[in-house]
Chains A and B, each alone.
Chain A
Amino acid sequence: MRFERYGIGIAKGMALTFRHLFRPPITLQYPEEKLVVSRRIRGNELVWYLDRCTGCASCAKACPQGNIEIVTHVGNRNNYVVDKFEVDCGRCMFCGLCVEACPYDALAMGRSYERSQYRRNDVILNKEQLQQSDIRQPSGYARPLIEASLPKQSLLVYWNRKEGGQKLSWLGLSKKRGRGV
């Protein structure tokens, strides 16, 4: 790499920056536009299925932090009845070891990443809060059947104008307005 001294390196760098003026920006207007997350995303929540859980506590044994608290009593069909199944989602690091450990597919990771609460006690979730609902959908991490039914992820490698990406905008005057005043 020859080194010229009279400013040609600076000129080349500035030419590259100038060329970038004509490339579409890769900014998304969150929260109006959201990317489709991966099918196997380990989102910030867990989904628990009451009818599949046998109370074996494999998940509690697998958790590195000890977040899962299970209290059962012996039922009358030679089974465990789960009284209390609490997950402390504040200490949870969403590593997914509990989901991999469950032998009955009763626990799955969630797909949402917007699960902040205002109080620390509100993130300790009990049996009813952990069940599946329209805002708490399972993801396909270690659950191939669920993974097959989810939409494909949006990838930046394929993101350009022709394949439905962000439109070109001169000087950043984007076609999609933000939340205006």
Chain B
Amino acid sequence: MVIKTEPFILNIGPQHPSTHGVFRMRVTLDGEVVVDIEPVIGYLHRGIEKMGENRTYTQIIPLTDRLDYLASLTNNLAYVLAVEKLAGITIPERAEYLRIIMAEAMRISSHLMAVGFFLNDLGAMMTPVLYMWREREKLLDLFEMVCGQRLTYNYMRIGGVSHDIPEEFLPALKKFVAEMPGFIDEYDQLLSQNEIVLARTKGVSILPRDTAINTAASGPVLRASGVKWDLRKADPYSIYDRFDFEVPVGKVGDNYDRYWVRMQEMRQSVRILEQAIAQLPSGVVWADVPQLLHPPVGEVYGHIESPRGELGFFLISDNSIAPYRFHIRPPTLINLTALKDMVVGWKVADLIITFGSIDVVLGEIDR
């Protein structure tokens, strides 16, 4: 005998404790099983691409801070790399090393936040968040020491970075780097082997390797599915080819692998930081670049490996002080297209966890 059931539509609306921003999903549920999902975005659209057409190249840098506001320095870095590629500017050595130090510290901070809130969505009542934010606070203090702000840094400039580091920066960073592997081991002890976490995340929402490549996923989502693709190794930008680090690759592509890849990436970032601190040369930090830059006519696409994936900036210049077209390729919007494949057939609880494991920031999806 077949019991007649009827699927119903649940609106996991823009205001929800765990949608990591204003993201709306219309989910069709059959009991507790997700049958269909329709994401609705655009609640945080601010028109950054249009605003970029009316601002000079230096004035766009504070705008790029506000795209992926949890990893602002990598946004700045991607943008200035694209402009430097277009205008053909070389930057001093010390500026290169400072950019790498800031970018890797930013990667640690962003992953701490992502992993913390992933575990919070699982239900561990803010405890992993607070432990991880203690380390993130130390990093934010260091950023405040260098460039004056804790969230929107505006630190990179076309031709280098804006300020040199004060003399108390390096001892504090060395102390942080020495203590961090111990703290990552503590986080592993807290929840990596917990049976409840394993039962909820291992084998759940598997993204197969071919689907990941076909939907143009990037970042930890792609690496967890078994594809060894990291832009720092595959298409090295800046001076990443001088550092020795590994790229962690998952096996299956479930939620646990995405969490595990992020934890391992934090360890590799600490390795890069140690090497960069040891090799830091002296010199100026900002090349001689005119204040109103007129790049030659042309178009450029500059991309980097941000903590969430491949972040790209596409610029068309017509030799004036402002770009003709300024387009951003957000990593999480492209990763989000794989959400339906990952989630259909699982339950509402798994939907929230999977969404947290993609690590979404609405600022860069909606721009």
Say if the two chains contact directly (CB < 8 Å).
yes
Within 8 A of B (CB), among A22-76: 26, 37-42, 62-64
Cβ of B189: which chain A residues have Cβ within 8 Å of it? 12-13, 16
Pick the contact of A17 from B134, B148, B168, B190 — CB < 8 Å?
A: B190
The SS class assigned to the B binding surface is helix
Q: Is the CB of A7 within 8 A of B175?
A: no
Minimum C-beta distance from B154 to chain A (A): 5
Pick the contact of A40 from B61, B163, B191 — CB < 8 Å?
A: B163
Minimum C-beta distance from A44 to chain B (A): 11
Minimum C-beta distance from B4 to chain A (A): 40
The SS class assigned to the A binding surface is loop
Q: Determine whether A80 belongs to the interface, using a CB cutoff of 8 Å to chain B.
A: no
Q: Interface digits, A96-123 against B, CB 8 Å rule (1 contact, 0 not)? A: 1100110000000100000000000000
Cβ of A40: which chain B residues have Cβ within 8 Å of it? 144-148, 163, 166
Q: Is the CB of B175 within 8 A of A10?
A: no
Q: Is the CB of B138 within 8 A of A156?
A: yes
Pick the contact of B141 from A5, A62, A96, A153 — CB < 8 Å?
A: A153
Cβ of A41: which chain B residues have Cβ within 8 Å of it? 144, 148-149
Cβ of B141: which chain A residues have Cβ within 8 Å of it? 38, 153, 155-157
In the complex, what distance in Å separates the CA atom of A101 from the CA atom of B292?
12
Q: Is the CB of B138 within 8 A of A13?
A: no
Pick the contact of A64 from B59, B137, B193, B196 — CB < 8 Å?
A: B59
Minimum C-beta distance from B96 to chain A (A): 21
Q: Determine whether B198 belongs to the interface, using a CB cutoff of 8 Å to chain A.
A: yes
Q: Is the CB of A157 within 8 A of B194?
A: no
Q: Interface digits, A79-90 against B, CB 8 Å rule (1 contact, 0 not)? A: 000000000000
Q: Interface digits, B156-169 against A, CB 8 Å rule (1 contact, 0 not)? A: 00000011001010
In the complex, what distance in Å separates the CA atom of A100 from the CA atom of B186?
42
Known: A3-B198, A9-B194, A16-B186. A97 touches B58 (CB 8 A): yes
Q: Is the CB of A100 within 8 A of B162?
A: yes
Q: Determine whether A21 belongs to the interface, using a CB cutoff of 8 Å to chain B.
A: no
Q: Is the CB of B172 within 8 A of A141?
A: no
Q: How many residues of A contact B (CB 8 A)?
A: 41
Q: Determine whether B109 belongs to the interface, using a CB cutoff of 8 Å to chain A.
A: no
Pick the contact of A38 from B62, B127, B144 — CB < 8 Å?
A: B144
Q: Determine whether A176 belongs to the interface, using a CB cutoff of 8 Å to chain B.
A: no
Q: Is the CB of A39 within 8 A of B62?
A: no
Q: Is the CB of A1 within 8 A of B195?
A: no
Q: Determine whether A93 belongs to the interface, using a CB cutoff of 8 Å to chain B.
A: yes
Minimum C-beta distance from A115 to chain B (A): 15
Q: Is the CB of A109 within 8 A of B193?
A: no
Q: Is the CB of B62 within 8 A of A95?
A: yes
Q: Is the CB of B148 within 8 A of A5?
A: no
Q: Determine whether B16 belongs to the interface, using a CB cutoff of 8 Å to chain A.
A: no
Q: Is the CB of A157 within 8 A of B138?
A: yes
Which residue of chain B lies nearest to A109 when distances are taken between CB atoms in the complex?
B148
In the complex, what distance in Å separates the CA atom of A9 from the CA atom of B149?
39
Q: Is the CB of B196 within 8 A of A10?
A: yes
Which residue of chain A lies nearest to B144 when distances are taken between CB atoms in the complex?
A38
Cβ of A64: which chain B residues have Cβ within 8 Å of it? 55, 59-60, 62-63
Cβ of A141: which chain B residues have Cβ within 8 Å of it? 148
Q: Determine whether A161 belongs to the interface, using a CB cutoff of 8 Å to chain B.
A: no
Cβ of A156: which chain B residues have Cβ within 8 Å of it? 134, 137-138, 141
Q: Determine whether B5 belongs to the interface, using a CB cutoff of 8 Å to chain A.
A: no
Cβ of B186: which chain A residues have Cβ within 8 Å of it? 16
Cβ of B197: which chain A residues have Cβ within 8 Å of it? 9
Minimum C-beta distance from B159 to chain A (A): 13
Q: Determine whether B69 belongs to the interface, using a CB cutoff of 8 Å to chain A.
A: no
Pick the contact of B193 from A1, A17, A101 — CB < 8 Å?
A: A1
Pick the contact of B172 from A9, A26, A109, A157 — CB < 8 Å?
A: A157
In the complex, what distance in Å separates the CA atom of A108 from the CA atom of B172?
27
15 contacts between A and B (CB under 8 A): A1-B193, A5-B195, A8-B193, A9-B194, A13-B194, A16-B190, A38-B148, A40-B148, A41-B148, A64-B59, A64-B60, A97-B154, A101-B291, A155-B172, A157-B176
- B residues contacting A by CB (< 8 A) are 55, 58-63, 65, 127, 131, 134, 137-138, 141-142, 144-149, 152, 154, 162-163, 166, 168, 172, 175-176, 179, 186, 189-198, 291
Given contacts A147-B166, A153-B141, 14 further A-B contacts (CB under 8 A): A9-B192, A9-B193, A9-B197, A10-B194, A10-B196, A17-B127, A20-B131, A26-B137, A40-B146, A95-B154, A139-B148, A153-B168, A155-B138, A155-B145
- A residues contacting B by CB (< 8 A) are 1, 3-5, 7-10, 12-13, 16-17, 20, 26, 37-42, 62-64, 93-97, 100-101, 109, 139, 141-142, 147, 152-153, 155-158
